[in-house]
Structures are given as C-alpha cells and as structure tokens.
Structure 1
C-alpha cells in the first residue's frame, strides 16, 4: 500500500505543478486552476485519511489492537463540503466545478497506480 500511495502522491504533485504552471502563464484561467488546486489538496487529504483508516482496520483484523471508532466517511465528506463552501463563498478566487473535479482526482490516480503495481507483480 505504501508504494502505491507514494506513486500516487508523486503523480498528484506533477498534476499540481502543471496546474501552478498554467496559473502562472495563463491569467484568464486563474480561478479554474486555483479551484483545481484546492480540490487536489482536499483529494490528497482524503486519500491520506482513507489510507490511515485502512491500516487501522487491517491492524484490528490481524488482532493487533482493539477496534477503533472514528468519523471515517464523515471526515472525508466534510473535507469535500469545506472545499465546496470555500468555492461558493469566494467565486472570484475559486471555480466551483474545478474544485469539485479536483476532489475526485486522487481516487482515479490511486486506481491506476494500483493497477500498474499489480501488473508488475504478476
């Protein structure tokens, strides 16, 4: 899981760098790229929270500790809701569709990274 997450984070950093490059070069797209960057940040945070939760569940299934309760899905939904609220509150800074699209990027990157990792293993 750590190798897949590392690959996905590197890919996300490349997408972030490309977005920053577009933000610097094309002034008309600044609200779109800032919205995308806000969504990418939330997407990374959600992936990190999900990774931590999966590790806790795996540890509990292996008998390594007591079952821990947490917010789980609620914290990930709250992160996306915070992005939507920021984009709604500051429409001159952030594009709402770009921010929400950015929130959905990391799961697809993780899916592709896991597929490539599993293809290399077999």
Structure 2
C-alpha cells in the first residue's frame, strides 16, 4: 500500500508542477490551472484521509486495537465542499469545473498505480 501511495503521490506532484508552469506562462489559462491545482491538493488530502480510514478499519478487524469511530466519508465530502465554496467565492481566480475535476483525480491515479504495481508483482 505504501509503494502504491508513494507512486500516486509522485504522479500528483508532477501534475501540480505542470499546473504551476501553466499558471506562470499562460495567463489566459490561469483560472483553470489554479482551480485544478486547488482540486488536486484537496484530492491528495482526501487520499490520505481514506488511507488512514482503511488502516483504522483493518486494525479494528484484526482485533489489534479498539474500534475507532470517525466521520469517514464526511471528512472527504467536506473537503470537496470547501473547494467548491472557495471556487464559488473567487470565480475570477478559480475555475469551478476545473477545481471539482481536480478533486476527482487521485482515485484514478491510485487505480492506475495499483494496476501497474500488481503487473510488476506478477
């Protein structure tokens, strides 16, 4: 799981670097690239929240510790809502569709990273 997460995070950092380069050199694409950048940041935070939640459930199922309760999906939805509220509040700086699309990137990156990792294992 750690190798998959590390690969996905590295890919996401590269995508964020591309967004920063587009923001710096293409002024007509600034709102789109900044919206995508904010969405990618929220997507990475959601991935870490999901990873922590999966580890908590795994430890609880193995009986290694007390069963912990948390907000789970609520935290991840609140993160996306926060991005949407920021994009709605500052439409001249952030593009709402790009920000929301950026929020959905990390699960697909994780899926591709897991597929590549499993192909290398077998």
1:44 aligns with 2:44: yes
**TM-score normalized by structure 2?**
0.99
Residue 34 of structure 1 is matched in structure 2 by: 34
Residue 61 of structure 1 is matched in structure 2 by: 61
Q: How far is 1:63 from its partner?
A: 1.1
**Number of matched pairs:** 122
Q: How far is 1:62 from its partner?
A: 1.2
CA distance in 1, matches of 2:89, 2:16: 23
CA distance in 2, matches of 1:61, 1:71: 18
Q: How far is 1:66 from its partner?
A: 1.0
Runs (4 or more) in structure 1 with deviation over 3 Å come to none
Q: How far is 1:109 from its partner?
A: 0.3
Q: How far is 1:18 from its partner?
A: 0.6
Say which SS state the counterpart of residue 69 (structure 2) adopts.
coil
Q: Aligned-residue CA RMSD in angstroms?
A: 0.5
Q: How far is 1:46 from its partner?
A: 0.2
**TM-score normalized by structure 1?**
0.99
Say which SS state the counterpart of residue 66 (structure 2) adopts.
coil
Q: How far is 1:52 from its partner?
A: 0.4
Q: How far is 1:56 from its partner?
A: 0.7
CA distance in 1, matches of 2:101, 2:58: 30
Q: How far is 1:8 from its partner?
A: 0.3
CA distance in 1, matches of 2:24, 2:94: 15
Q: How far is 1:98 from its partner?
A: 0.3
CA distance in 1, matches of 2:49, 2:42: 10
Q: How far is 1:44 from its partner?
A: 0.4
CA distance in 2, matches of 1:26, 1:8: 26
Q: Which runs of 5+ in 2 are unaligned?
A: none
1:3-60, CA deviations, whole angstroms, 9 ceiling, x for partnerless residues? Answer: 0000000000000001111111100000000100010010000000000000111111
